[in-house]
């Protein structure tokens, strides 16, 4: 009997390579909910395997049984870590099946609430005045927050002390507590904090403003003078290499259905994310896109000389 005939007949685990409560986790939990119906009422469980910029979780899925019951939901880290990590125990393009992209999410540049700068120009002055003392939180080397922070430091030519966490949920806690000064994070995690006024928000990382009630007022870094600054974080779904083709086809069909779910779309849009509707829903296109992103971000990482062991 082909494997897909019965699939799924037990719970599916979606590994999120970051801590619970952060932006990748939030996307995964909403996505898991949207996948339930297209997968015939299946149970989808999110497992958080944070650490080392997402590479621990990705490595776990690369080595998991290729049966469709362990999937990975990961972001741009799929494209940054192959260049950044000298020792990665998996190969992104060889060790995974590509199942389609889910969304594109802008980032926001945040400061702790007690930071004495309400506008970006004042923020820049504060950065200049506090050179050598600034702490920048991130989710480890190769994470989205690391990438955005790296590009921001290069653009303003100020080095900061990076403080790595297992995800931006714990990093956000420390930003709220004032233990760290600044952070870049996806709007899926920052919209609520910005709306509540519990952090200072200076800009968005994409070249276009983000058209939500909470975020529309934020200028882009590009319009603030960092010409061409553009970091947009995509999320995609992956299975271990060797997962049967009929199972992959079933998951891809469910993903396409899930992304049409009006509740899912509404939630994502409210948080500034754009649900994918283009060719990247197609596994071959998804893989091609990630390969191009590996080249694109690889060049940025090499130029910055940022490597991890
Ligand atoms: N936003 C994180 C990152 O910087 C990951 C997370 O916790 O979702 O990659």
Q: State phi, psi for 235 to the nearest 5 degrees.
A: -120, 140
Q: What's residue 4's pLDDT?
A: 60
Q: What's residue 306's pLDDT?
A: 76
Q: What's residue 1's pLDDT?
A: 42
Q: What's residue 5's pLDDT?
A: 74
Choosing from 22, 28, 193, 235 the residue with most ligand 1 atoms within 8 A of its CB, the one to mutate for a pocket test is 22
From the CB of 139, is ligand 1 less than 6 Å away? yes
Choosing from 14, 21, 24, 31 the residue with most ligand 1 atoms within 8 A of its CB, the one to mutate for a pocket test is 24
Q: Whose Cα sits closest to atom 5 in ligand 1?
A: 167
What is 106-204's CATH number, 3.40.640.10, 3.40.50.150, 3.40.50.620, 3.40.190.10?
Answer: 3.40.190.10
Q: Whose Cα sits closest to atom 7 in ligand 1?
A: 167
Contact 131, 139 (CB under 8 A): no
Q: What's residue 305's pLDDT?
A: 82
Nearest to residue 104, comparing CAs of 228, 210, 221, 184?
210
CATH 3.40.190.10 in the chain is located at: 106-204
Rounded to the nearest angstrom, the distance between the alpha carbon of 189 and the centre of ligand 1 is 9
Residue ranges in the chain modelled with pLDDT below 50: 1-2
- Distance from C-alpha of 295 to C-alpha of 221, rounded to nearest angstrom: 23
- Distance from C-alpha of 202 to C-alpha of 191, rounded to nearest angstrom: 13
CATH 3.40.190.150 in the chain is located at: 3-104+233-304
**pTM exceeds 0.85 for this model:** yes
Query: How would CATH label the architecture of 3-104+233-304?
Result: 3-Layer(aba) Sandwich (3.40)
Q: What's residue 86's pLDDT?
A: 87
Rounded to the nearest angstrom, the distance between the alpha carbon of 105 and the centre of ligand 1 is 11
CA dihedral 254, 256, 261, 267 (to 10 degrees): 110
Q: What's residue 239's pLDDT?
A: 98
């Amino acid at each position: 009997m082909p494997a897909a005939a019965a699939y799924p007949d037990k719970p599916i685990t979606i590994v999120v390579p970051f801590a619970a409560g952060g932006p990748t986790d939030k996307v995964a939990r909403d996505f898991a909910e949207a996948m339930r119906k297209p997968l015939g009422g299946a149970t989808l469980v999110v497992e958080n395997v944070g650490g080392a910029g997402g590479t621990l979780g990705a490595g776990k899925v690369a080595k998991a049984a290729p049966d469709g019951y362990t999937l990975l939901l990961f972001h741009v880290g799929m494209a940054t870590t192959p260049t950044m990590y000298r020792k990665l125990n998996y190969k992104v393009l060889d060790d995974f099946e590509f199942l389609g992209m889910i969304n594109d999410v802008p980032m926001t540049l945040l400061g702790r609430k007690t930071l004495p700068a309400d506008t970006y120009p004042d923020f820049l002055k504060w950065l200049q005045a506090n050179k050598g003392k600034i702490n920048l939180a991130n989710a480890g080397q190769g994470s989205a927050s690391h990438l955005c922070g790296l590009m921001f430091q290069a653009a303003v030519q100020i080095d900061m002390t990076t403080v790595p966490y297992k995800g931006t949920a714990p990093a956000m806690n420390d930003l709220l507590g004032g233990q760290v000064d600044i952070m870049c994070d996806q709007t899926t995690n920052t919209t609520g904090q910005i709306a509540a006024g519990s952090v200072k928000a200076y800009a968005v990382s994409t070249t276009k403003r983000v058209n939500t009630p909470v975020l529309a007022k934020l200028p882009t870094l590009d319009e603030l003078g960092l010409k061409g600054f553009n970091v947009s974080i995509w999320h995609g779904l992956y299975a271990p290499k060797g997962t049967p083709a009929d199972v992959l086809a079933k998951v891809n069909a469910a993903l396409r259905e899930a992304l049409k779910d009006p509740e899912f779309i509404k939630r994502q849009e409210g948080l500034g994310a754009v649900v994918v509707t283009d060719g990247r829903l197609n596994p071959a296109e998804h893989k091609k896109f990630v390969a191009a992103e590996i080249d694109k971000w690889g060049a940025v990482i090499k130029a910055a000389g940022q490597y991890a062991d």
